[in-house]
Structure 1
Amino acid sequence: MSDENGTPDISSGPRPEPIRFFGTTWVEHDGGYGARRAAVCVGSLAAAAVSCLVLRFAYQGLRIAAVGAPVTLMVVVMFAVCSALAFSNTWGSFTKRPDPRRQASLRGLLTIGFVGSLLAYFLRSLTEAPGEKLHREEYESARAAHEKRASRRTGNPSRRRRS
């Protein structure tokens, strides 16, 4: 269902699901969508840079405390592995819905690897709003199903005249 300008009528049928920082501007790429995408891109990269600086201070704290090479190496490897896992998990969540139970079990690991999540957000925001492709596919399929149902039903069948 569209109006005379060809824009979809969202007053009936399914509504688009809002995306964090974008609301529903991802549907028509209006309402400052480009500026929001640029802000998310710059913001996530800046947050990742600040996070790396904080991690560097933590590393220097370990060196000052002289905890030893094995502990320092273990902490560095832990952050690297957790960041890589967080990156892949975040990147994958942009294309398909993650399993809530798996997400709950990975919450601690993803928290430790926050730099990877920020970098995934940055890279995805270079091309689209993070999660836009997934939301667009779901929204388009819901709209198509709604239009199919709406076109099939043309009124109350009990009021039809029989021939």
Structure 2
Amino acid sequence: MSEKSEASDRTGPSAASTGTAPGPQPESIRFFGTTWVERDGRYALRRVGVALGSLAAAVASCFVLRFAYQGLEIADIGSFVGILVVLMFGICSAIAFRKTWEGFSRRPAEPAGEDNLRNLKTIGFIGSLLAYFFRSFLEAPGEKLRRTEYEAAVAQYAKRRSARTGNPAGRKTPKGRKPRRK
């Protein structure tokens, strides 16, 4: 069964005829789609895959950086520049880890600040990969944030729906007035 037909089976016949369920829709997470909502569709296998993939990418990246450092040693540029390169990657990786980890639990207060850190996070990509690896042990990276937002939206939608008194199209028109035609 495809994911689309599984979704329509869960939501009922009215949603199947329109293609989407009424109300708020869950936000998709990279590598997980919307399987995080019900934790179905091989969710656990995907978490293991993300953890192993991010760890393998981090290890491969460390080897690439090691080869780059060996290139600096071969060029004989001096120990000071070598120390600066190691410090730069270490500090950038630590900042990227922290910012990526924070991004899993809350939205950035100012998106412009995140854009300014994009280059720093690119240099410290190993930190971001390690954040993905460690977060995959707890949940799909970013699941907690999206789950709280989705549950709040569903609760707000249910509250708005319960406040309605009925179908306005089914109301009778007052005597003496004919309904408008389009």
Higher relative contact order (CA 8 A, sep 6+): 1
Displaced runs of 4 or more, over 3 A: 7-10, 157-161
Query: Counterpart in 2 of 1:116?
Result: 127
TM-score with structure 2 setting the length: 0.81
Query: Counterpart in 1 of 2:56?
Result: 46
Instruction: After TM superposition, give the deviation of residue 160 of structure 1 in Å.
Output: 7.5
* Match of residue 17, structure 1, among 11, 23, 27: 27
Corresponding letter in the other structure for 1:36: R
Q: Which runs of 5+ in 2 are unaligned?
A: 1-9, 13-19, 174-182
Which of the two has higher C-alpha Rg? 2
Task: Write out aligned runs for 1:57-136 (5 A).
Answer: 57-98=67-108, 99-136=110-147
Q: Which runs of 5+ in 1 are unaligned?
A: 1-6
Query: Counterpart in 2 of 1:144?
Result: 155
Deviations 1:54-94 (Å, cap 9, x if unpaired)?
01001111111110011111110000000000000000000
Tell me, what secondary structure is at the counterpart of 1:31?
coil
> 1:37, 1:70 → 2: CA distance?
41
> 1:100, 1:82 → 2: CA distance?
19
Contact 2:24 2:150 in 1 (8 A): yes
Superposed CA RMSD: 2.0
> 1:40, 1:27 → 2: CA distance?
17
Corresponding letter in the other structure for 1:72: G
Instruction: After TM superposition, give the deviation of residue 154 of structure 1 in Å.
Output: 2.1
Identity of aligned residues (%): 59
> 1:37, 1:109 → 2: CA distance?
27
> 1:96, 1:54 → 2: CA distance?
32
Corresponding letter in the other structure for 1:115: I
Deviations 1:5-32 (Å, cap 9, x if unpaired)?
xx77771100000000000000000001
Instruction: After TM superposition, give the deviation of residue 100 of structure 1 in Å.
Output: 1.7
> 1:111, 1:8 → 2: CA distance?
41
Contact 2:11 2:21 in 1 (8 A): no
Corresponding letter in the other structure for 2:82: T
